[in-house]
Chain A
Amino acid sequence: MTAREEMLAAMRRNAPRETPRPDLARLGVKFADPAAKFAESLQGVGGTCLRVPDLAVAGRAVAELPVRQAAKKVVSLVPEVEPGNLDLAAVKAPRELEGLDLTVLRGELAVAENGAVWVDAQLLPHRAIFVIAEHLVLVVDAAGVVNDLHEAYARLAGRPAAYGLFISGPSKTADIEQALVIGAQGARSCTVLLVG
């Protein structure tokens, strides 16, 4: 028998009597103002939320960000908000992205309960751009704010499983005497623009 067959057989042989799958329908939290709660949660994990009425204002808000003004290399996948100045088609290996100052990406969902934004990264030209950049800006439609992760996964359920992630604020660590330090390995800042 192969290791695969042997392991599956052992698990089936040793399994306890089947117990039913619990009903998850009653779980979840509801917030009076999910967008406000999202902003609060994001701030709690070291990020910043900016509310803007439309993409034009979003573009002006990004242009005014100190991290944008200081940035030399910018990748943007939201050209209507930020043109960017690095042509990803010319980047062959992801390690050439070292030194990237800012990445602007579209997020699809914002979770009020924990300040996380869902980014579908399946089609990113280089998957590293969200983590190798020194700073990160995420642009999310206000209609994409959900209360909690149950709602978030319910919205994602209709779509094919892809390479994607929840990002909740900037990279951080507390491994040295539990002192919270922002900017461990990934982005040193995370700004979320909630549009609409």
Chain B
Amino acid sequence: MSAPPSATGELERTVDHAAAAARFVADDAKAHWHDQALWWVRKKRDAASAAVPDWEALRDAAAGLKAHTLSRLGDYLDEFARNAEARGAHVHFARDAAEHNAIVHGILQERGITRLVKSKSMLTEECHLNPYLEARGVTVTDTDLGERIVQLRHEPPSHIVLPAIHLKKEEIGELFHRELGTAEGASDPKVLTEAARQHLRQRFLEAEAGLTGVNFAIAETGGVVVCTNEGNADMGSTLPRVHIACMGVEKLVPRREDLAVFLRLLARSATGQPVTTYTTHFHGPRPDGELHIVVVDNGRSRQLADPVFRRSLSCIRCGACMNTCPVFRRSGGYSYGYIVPGPIGSILGPARDPAGHRTLPFASSLCGSCSDVCPVRIDLHHELWAWRKELVKRGLLPWRKRAAMKLAGAVLRFAWLYRLAGWVARRLVPALPRRLAYGRWNAWGRQRELPPMPRQTFRQLYRSHRDRS
């Protein structure tokens, strides 16, 4: 499932969500378990948000702050870069993934660094930094426990906050037995976490540079903020001398006080915690060290120009939309074939490559649950629907769907044709041999039985009732 290593970082393959989801649900027990695991996180989020009396006001403020920041993004980025430089950080600018990867590699190469520890960064996943560096002789260790697990399995994360949510503890036990030498059959999360702690400590102590993502960048002060529960970003940024922080331009907030709004929302939305264990504010390097901040565009400024889809740039990557999405919970993160899965990923993926990700906006029931939980009030289900229209306009729908829609359009346009079709179906369908009725053309009937054909139409029923009254 892992994405092809490339310098550009663009994922240029076509994803068929329904086919990938079918593979996931083939393991019925595991699919149900996945659904329940995420639903539990969703319930924790509900309890945490309900305990905050000004929750809705916070969401309004967060949405407003993001909209304001996006409307002045160039100014804030300029302000941020100047302030960060004044504090002694090196600020690098990358137009795309290839530039980002080259900058990170350049920093390491100039200093002869071959051992890098990383804390979680979806941006570096987006840029496919790991394979790029590994191909150039750098040993990269992901240090978030979930990320380390999927890295050892040579898989990308299946969820942006819970990277290994698709795995059972027995599978992780087997992996650790093979890779870290834990006892065979050991699957207690405590035992496995302890083994990972010891293993990762060695990596932290040996590392010459630490790379972290950025949750927020403050224009007013030139600082960056990183949130983790494990403290892996803190180990990685305090033990090695060189700290590289990579961020997309959308991570900016205007002022330090704005952090209060986002920090009160982020962890509660993500895992139901009041705040992450560590919320670290970096302003400049440590006295004997270096701080490099790599600011990446990679299509974001283009997305900013789009009046409908620019709001998805407000995303703070909490993952709440995934945990609540009935399709994500039942189809797994990998079925999306994009770095960010779920509702938000189904908007971001097509923005990057509409043809390759054309099935994603259909991987939604449009129930609106994602929009209801989004802490920054992104109108996710509206954007998914807007993407569907856009894909039709661009002629990117498969011919089957196009033909079916055309046919449905024609039938619905003429009342007589609709009545005729109903009349024919009521007589024809019960008479058809099963093999024909559930043929390849009947996608709906693959998972379910067709309802029994009613004797009366709704129209007849309605008329007879009205005549009676």
Contacts of A17 in B (CB 8 A): 71
A163 to chain B, nearest CB (A): 6
Given A7-B297, A184-B145, are A18 and B54 neighbors across the interface (CB < 8 Å)? no
A174–B164 Cα distance when bound, in Å, is 10
A177 touches B37 (CB 8 A): yes
A178 touches B95 (CB 8 A): no
A10–B77 Cα distance when bound, in Å, is 12
- Complex interface bits, A142-167 against B, C-beta within 8 A gives 1, otherwise 0: 00000011101110110001111111
The yes or no answer to A114 lying at the interface (CB within 8 A) is yes
- SS class of chain B's interface: helix, strand, loop or mixed? helix
Q: Which of B129-137, B272-280, B420-428, B442-450 contacts A (4 or more CB under 8 A)?
A: B272-280
A171–B145 Cα distance when bound, in Å, is 12
A184 touches B230 (CB 8 A): yes
The yes or no answer to A138 lying at the interface (CB within 8 A) is no
A186–B279 Cα distance when bound, in Å, is 13
Given A7-B77, A153-B256, A163-B284, are A181 and B231 neighbors across the interface (CB < 8 Å)? no
B169 touches A98 (CB 8 A): no
B257 touches A153 (CB 8 A): yes
Given A3-B94, A127-B238, A184-B231, are A15 and B257 neighbors across the interface (CB < 8 Å)? no
Given A14-B304, A45-B273, A165-B278, are A173 and B193 neighbors across the interface (CB < 8 Å)? yes
Q: Which of B15-23, B56-64, B404-412 contacts A (4 or more CB under 8 A)?
A: B56-64
B442 to chain A, nearest CB (A): 38
A116–B260 Cα distance when bound, in Å, is 12
The yes or no answer to A73 lying at the interface (CB within 8 A) is no
A151–B354 Cα distance when bound, in Å, is 44
A157–B257 Cα distance when bound, in Å, is 8
A15 touches B71 (CB 8 A): yes
Contacts of B193 in A (CB 8 A): 173, 175-176, 181, 183-184
A167 touches B261 (CB 8 A): no
B145 touches A149 (CB 8 A): no
Given A7-B93, A172-B230, are A28 and B54 neighbors across the interface (CB < 8 Å)? yes
B223 to chain A, nearest CB (A): 5
The yes or no answer to B40 lying at the interface (CB within 8 A) is yes
Query: Which residue of the partner chain, among A15, A148, A185, contacts B264 with CB atoms under 8 Å?
Result: A148
The yes or no answer to B235 lying at the interface (CB within 8 A) is yes
B221 touches A150 (CB 8 A): no
The yes or no answer to B201 lying at the interface (CB within 8 A) is yes
Query: Which residue of the partner chain, among A149, A179, A186, contacts B259 with CB atoms under 8 Å?
Result: A149
Contacts of A148 in B (CB 8 A): 260, 264
The yes or no answer to A83 lying at the interface (CB within 8 A) is no
Q: Which of A19-27, A51-59, A60-68, A102-110 contacts B (4 or more CB under 8 A)?
A: A19-27
A7 touches B295 (CB 8 A): yes
B18 to chain A, nearest CB (A): 27
CB under 8 Å from chain B, chain A span 106-143: 111, 113-116, 126-128, 130-132
Contacts of B274 in A (CB 8 A): 41, 44-45, 113-116, 168
Contacts of B115 in A (CB 8 A): none
B66 to chain A, nearest CB (A): 10
A27–B172 Cα distance when bound, in Å, is 43
The yes or no answer to B32 lying at the interface (CB within 8 A) is no
A187 touches B189 (CB 8 A): no
A10 touches B264 (CB 8 A): no
A153 to chain B, nearest CB (A): 5
A164–B41 Cα distance when bound, in Å, is 30
CB under 8 Å from chain A, chain B span 269-289: 271, 273-284, 286
Given A29-B54, A98-B201, are A163 and B295 neighbors across the interface (CB < 8 Å)? no
A56–B396 Cα distance when bound, in Å, is 73
A171 touches B229 (CB 8 A): yes
Query: Which residue of the partner chain, among B58, B162, B197, B237, contacts A183 with CB atoms under 8 Å?
Result: B197
- Complex interface bits, B61-85 against A, C-beta within 8 A gives 1, otherwise 0: 1001101101111110110010000
The yes or no answer to A91 lying at the interface (CB within 8 A) is no
A11–B284 Cα distance when bound, in Å, is 25
B93 touches A2 (CB 8 A): yes
A131 touches B235 (CB 8 A): yes
B230 touches A22 (CB 8 A): no
A21–B254 Cα distance when bound, in Å, is 9
A26–B58 Cα distance when bound, in Å, is 10
Contacts of A152 in B (CB 8 A): 260
A6–B63 Cα distance when bound, in Å, is 27
Query: Which residue of the partner chain, among B52, B70, B165, contacts A15 with CB atoms under 8 Å?
Result: B70
Contacts of A10 in B (CB 8 A): 74, 297, 301-302, 304
B238 touches A185 (CB 8 A): no
A68 to chain B, nearest CB (A): 21
For A20, give the chain B residue with the smallest CB separation.
B68
The yes or no answer to A50 lying at the interface (CB within 8 A) is no
The yes or no answer to B118 lying at the interface (CB within 8 A) is no
Query: Which residue of the partner chain, among A19, A27, A186, contacts B277 with CB atoms under 8 Å?
Result: A186
The yes or no answer to B143 lying at the interface (CB within 8 A) is yes
A154–B279 Cα distance when bound, in Å, is 17
A167–B280 Cα distance when bound, in Å, is 8
- List the 5 closest pairs (A to B, CB-CB), nearest first: A186-B231, A22-B64, A114-B274, A175-B146, A14-B305
Q: A14-B302, A149-B263 are in contact. List 9 more A-B contacts (CB 8 A).
A: A3-B95, A3-B99, A20-B68, A28-B54, A45-B277, A132-B238, A168-B279, A177-B189, A184-B196
Q: Chain A interface (Cβ within 8 Å of chain B)?
A: 2-4, 6-22, 24, 26-29, 41, 44-45, 94-95, 98, 111, 113-116, 126-128, 130-132, 148-150, 152-154, 156-157, 161-179, 181, 183-187
Residue pairs across A and B with Cβ atoms less than 8 A apart, 19 shown, are A7-B77, A9-B74, A11-B74, A11-B304, A13-B305, A14-B302, A15-B70, A26-B54, A27-B61, A45-B277, A127-B237, A165-B278, A174-B229, A175-B149, A177-B189, A178-B41, A179-B189, A181-B190, A183-B193
